[in-house]
């Protein structure tokens, strides 16, 4: 079993199917109108269960980041150095992710980023971000 792979379930399958097609989905609450990420069956702001999927623009800004130079756990040990980051989407939610295709010296809080997708398996892709 690979511990680095997400396990789609009935509540997240639409998200993972969209990611495989290169689309980033978030959820929006019909009660308070706030968007949120990661996929949940309820709104983390007002607790309403009236949430639905919407496609995000994929644009955002780098909220914070850390460059990881040492990680003993496979497969991450093969990826160092890598950028662990939180991206604030233009729609509002913050996403834990990686920044890719960026010179480490060019990283800046507030820099514009754009989603792209990293294929992990034939059926599973994850959103990562690169400079816009």
Q: Could you report the per-residue pLDDT of 3-53, keeping only the tens digit for each? A: 668 888 899 999 999 999 999 999 999 999 999 999 899 999 999 999 999
pLDDT band of residue 2 (cuts 50, 70, 90) is low
What pLDDT does 28 receive?
A: 97
Q: Can you tell me the distance from the alpha carbon of 124 to that of 60, in angstroms, rounded to the nearest whole number?
A: 23
What pLDDT does 8 receive?
A: 87
Q: Could you report the per-residue pLDDT of 68-125, keeping only the tens digit for each? A: 999 888 777 888 899 999 999 999 999 999 999 999 999 999 999 999 999 988 989 9
Q: For residue 3, give both structure tokens.
A: 């511990």
What pLDDT does 5 receive?
A: 80
What pLDDT does 3 receive?
A: 62
pLDDT at 1 over 60: no
pTM reported for the whole predicted model: 0.90
CB 109 within 8 A of CB 18: no
Contacts 24+ apart (CB under 8 A), 94-98: 94/37, 94/63, 95/37, 95/38, 95/60, 95/127, 95/129, 97/127, 97/128, 97/129, 98/128, 98/129
On the CB side of 10, how many CA atoms lie within 13 Å of its CA?
Answer: 1
């Amino acid at each position: 079993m690979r511990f680095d792979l997400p396990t789609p379930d009935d509540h997240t399958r639409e998200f993972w199917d969209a990611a495989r097609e290169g689309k980033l989905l978030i959820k929006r609450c019909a009660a308070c109108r706030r968007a949120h990420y990661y996929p949940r069956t309820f709104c983390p702001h007002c607790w309403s269960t009236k949430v639905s999927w919407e496609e995000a623009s994929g644009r955002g800004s780098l909220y914070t980041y850390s460059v990881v130079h040492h990680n003993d756990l496979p497969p991450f040990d093969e990826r160092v150095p890598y950028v662990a980051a939180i991206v604030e989407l233009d729609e509002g939610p913050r996403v834990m992710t990686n920044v890719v295709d960026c010179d480490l010296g060019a990283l800046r809080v507030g820099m514009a980023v754009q989603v792209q997708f990293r294929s992990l398996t034939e059926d599973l892709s994850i959103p990562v971000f690169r400079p816009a």
